[in-house]
Amino acid sequence: MRDTSHRNRALVPTGHEASSYTCLRSLHRRGVGTVIASEKAGVPAAASRFCDESVSLPSPREGLLDYRDALLELAARDDVVTAIPVRPEDCYVFSRFADAFSERLSLVVPTMEQLRTVHDRLLLAEAAEAAGVPVPETRPLADVDDWDEDLLIKSRYNVLADAYLDDLGPDDMDVVKSVQHVVHGRPPDPEAVRETMHHDPIVQEYVRSDDEFMFTALYDRGEPLATFQHRQIRGDSYTGGGGVYRRSVYDEELERVGRTLLDHLEWHGLACIEYMRDADTGEYVLTEINPRMWQSLPSTVQAGADFPYYYWLAATGRPDLIENSYRLGVGTHMLRGEVGYLASVLTESSPYVERPSALGTAADIVRSVLREPRFDYFALDDPGPFLAGMRNVFAGETKSLRQKYGRGFDARSAVPYR
């Protein structure tokens, strides 16, 4: 490993992710600087008083090669030691162009072969079966002709890029996250689904779960350096999604299945694995792996598992200094995510998940916030990121309502006027 003792900054490419703010705040406490880089305006992390520097990037989804080159230019700076992946785009770029980045940075990221396995949900299901851990039955949409059971349609790939799809070029990049619930006996229009997802997606059996969990880890060439678990109490939507209210836990069986899969992959780098607990069998069933920092990273750090610093230690050749421990029962909230969860109760529907009471949901949110007032962005000593995040939420909701109601929308009254 190259001598990096005279350098002291981490590059954090980001959008509006809460995990980027957690990275810079965590590293600031350890005397490590950060460079927040984004193609977006109003990045909450850049509004922090702990942000050393923020720079602009071209959009990866408008031209991946320009985005790569801009990151390489930043990576060439003498004060930048490593880069922390917090988005799907960056996981792909750092692994896809590993040779170019490794000349300038010390990264802890999976090989392209490993990345392909976790980005391709068909390959991931095969790997889970080979490792002997539970995974839903997974098939390409093209192979399904029997719709007499409850099923889910998902994107086959975490990212759409040329390494995975032959009809894309090296400059192409997109992320498709949509999930379609299919009621038995009511088959979808396959061509319409493919047009929406821009490729032939996968079909998975629907697993009825009684809880959702997250297992995260940092691995060094097949060896675990640190792990963490939490139970997801509320997600982005009442039907699922990333955790917006979570509580740290430890379960020996969850630890076993998580490590077994990553050991089988001889994993290197970050991994966030989402699990469902099967309501019938009690097994932890794999949902997906994200090879990056996770949406709920703030809750992980508040429980004592400082993964941004762990990553820094691993990248600078000091993994032996990582102390893998955390406090149990620590609950945290993403406030704008809680608002989104309540909005989903009011606006979304699912044939599989019973819609909770809106009034009861609102009361639950208020009670839990008062009982456990720990938040992803909101901090009295650093209000800038929270205020920037709220501006983004307001701007996004205003844009959505304008698209829905046309120009006859007054953002001040938040209702369409006539």
| The pLDDT of residue 6 is above 70 | no
How many other CB atoms are there within 10 angstroms of residue 65's CB atom?
16
CB atoms within 10 A of CB 291: 25
Calculate what percentage of the chain has a pLDDT beyond 70: 92
E strand map for 200-292? 202-205, 209-220, 223-237, 240-248, 269-278, 284-290
Which homologous superfamily does the CATH classification assign to the domain defined by 9-107?
NAD(P)-binding Rossmann-like Domain (3.40.50.720)
Residue 369 exposed, middle or buried by CB count within 10 Å (0-12, 13-18, 19+): middle
What are the tokens at 49?
């008083």
Q: Which percentage of the chain shows pLDDT scores above 90?
A: 66
Cα separation, 65 vs 225, in Å, equals 33
What are the pLDDT digits (tens) for 188-224?
Answer: 999 999 999 999 999 999 999 999 999 999 999 999 9
- What pLDDT, on the 0 to 100 scale, is given for residue 402? 53
| pLDDT value at residue 409 | 37
Alpha-carbon distance values, 268 to 44, 75, 239, 273, 314 (Å): 29, 21, 31, 14, 11
Task: Round to the nearest angstrom and report the end-to-end CA distance of the chain.
Answer: 66
Is 294's pLDDT higher than 70?
yes
Residue pair 80/7 in contact by the 8 Å Cβ criterion: yes
Parse the chain into domains and list their residue ranges: 9-107, 111-119+127-132+208-382, 137-205
**pLDDT on residue 7:** 55
Name the token pair of 156: 């086959």
Task: Output 353 or 281, whichever has higher pLDDT.
Answer: 281
Assess contact for 365 and 375: CB atoms under 8 A: no
What tokens were used for 189?
A: 């229009």
Phi and psi torsions of 65, nearest 5°: -70, -40
Of 78, 108, 79, nearest in space to 95 by CA: 108
- Residue 32 burial (10 A CB sphere; 0-12, 13-18, 19+): buried
**Is the pLDDT assigned to residue 390 strictly greater than 60?**
yes
Task: State the pLDDT at residue 396.
Answer: 57
Q: What pLDDT score does 372 carry?
A: 86
Q: What value does the mean pLDDT take over residues 305-313?
A: 98
Please state which CATH class domain 111-119+127-132+208-382 belongs to. Answer: alpha beta
Q: In the predicted model, is pLDDT for residue 107 greater than 80?
A: yes
Is residue 161 within 8 Å of 96, Cβ to Cβ?
yes
pLDDT above 60 for 405: no
CA neighbor of 153 nearest in space, from 121, 116, 128, 119: 121
Given a cut of 70, whether residue 403 has pLDDT beyond it is: no
Mind listing the pLDDT tens digit for each residue in 40-76?
Answer: 988 999 999 999 999 999 999 999 999 999 999 999 9
CA separation for the pair 108, 93 (Å, rounded): 13
Query: Considering just the CA atoms, what is the radius of gyration of the chain in Å?
Result: 21
For 343-379, the pLDDT digits (tens) are 888 888 777 678 888 888 888 888 888 888 888 777 7
Summarize the confidence of residues 302-320 as an average pLDDT: 97
Q: How far is CA 209 from the centre of its chain?
A: 21
pLDDT band at 340 (very low <50, low <70, confident <90, very high): confident
Alpha-carbon span 339 to 249, nearest angstrom: 24
pTM of the entire predicted model: 0.88
